Chain A
Amino acid sequence: DAGVIQSPRHEVTEMGQEVTLRCKPISGHDYLFWYRQTMMRGLELLIYFNNNVPIDDSGMPEDRFSAKMPNASFSTLKIQPSEPRDSAVYFCASSTGKQTQYFGPGTRLLVL
């Protein structure tokens, strides 16, 4: 079975550009989570969805960040405009009900 799929795996962009990260959760999972990992702050939950509806976005750092889940098999995390401090590894995870979260391989973002 395919796990959580994220694209791109690596992204290098310049400050001010729009960045879109993509995630395909495991089929049948009804929860989707976006995390950010940095050396300074560790792993932080940004937002999570249940049945495509955002439930808690209190971890989204600021208005430059937005996330959508138009259907059960696709989610995006967008940063516009991007800044160097947004450089991090962004993980998507999915789960069914209150069960284990399964993580994707991550997108390594570098904003110059």
Chain B
Amino acid sequence: AQSVTQLGSHVSVSEGALVLLRCNYSSSVPPYLFWYVQYPNQGLQLLLKYTSAATLVKGINGFEAEFKKSETSFHLTKPSAHMSDAAEYFCAVTPGAGSYQLTFGKGTKLSVIP
């Protein structure tokens, strides 16, 4: 079985500051990992995904995440926050290529302070 823990249900950063959203996972097999973003009253949109290729994954809107097997982490970062980044972010895991079952974390709501 797999699980995802997102540290911090709510993170606030100033506009222009570094964004760091934390995600730790557990999986009995090599995982595939995803970050999704949800804007208010909208569905989830894929930001980026790790599928056992490069450990540093670049996504849309300037976000990136690094897969660290030794730390079982997949933290999401962005060098400079923009007001439009305010949303809820979800980390998700699926146990490798053979499964379609995404297990989501509880989400982290990002606020950007002008």
Q: A residues within 8 Å of B by Cβ?
A: 4, 31, 33, 42-43, 45, 48, 55-56, 91, 93, 95, 98, 100-106
Q: How far is the CA of A39 from the CA of B78 in the complex (A)?
A: 26
Set B100, B105, B106: member contacting A98, Cβ < 8 A = B100
For the complex formed, measure the closest distance between the CB of B100 and the CB atoms of chain A, giving whole angstroms.
6
Instruction: Judge whether B100 and A100 touch: CB under 8 Å.
Output: no
List B contacts of A43 (CB < 8 A).
44, 90, 104, 107
Is B44 within 8 A of A91, CB to CB? yes
Q: CA A103 – CA B90 in complex, angstroms? A: 13
Chain B, residues 35-55, CB within 8 Å of chain A (1/0): the string is 010000111111001000000
- Chain A to chain B: the 6 pairs with minimum beta-carbon distance, closest first: A103-B43, A43-B104, A103-B44, A42-B106, A105-B43, A100-B46
Q: Which residues of B contact A (CB under 8 A)?
A: 34, 36, 41-46, 49, 90, 97, 100-102, 104-107
Interface centre among B34, B45, B90, B101 (most CB of A within 10 A): B101
Residues of A within 8 A of B107 (CB): 42-43
Is the Cβ of B104 less than 8 Å from the Cβ of A103? no
Could you say which residues of chain A place their CB within 8 Å of the CB of B97?
98
Which residues from B are CB-within-8-Å of A104? 43
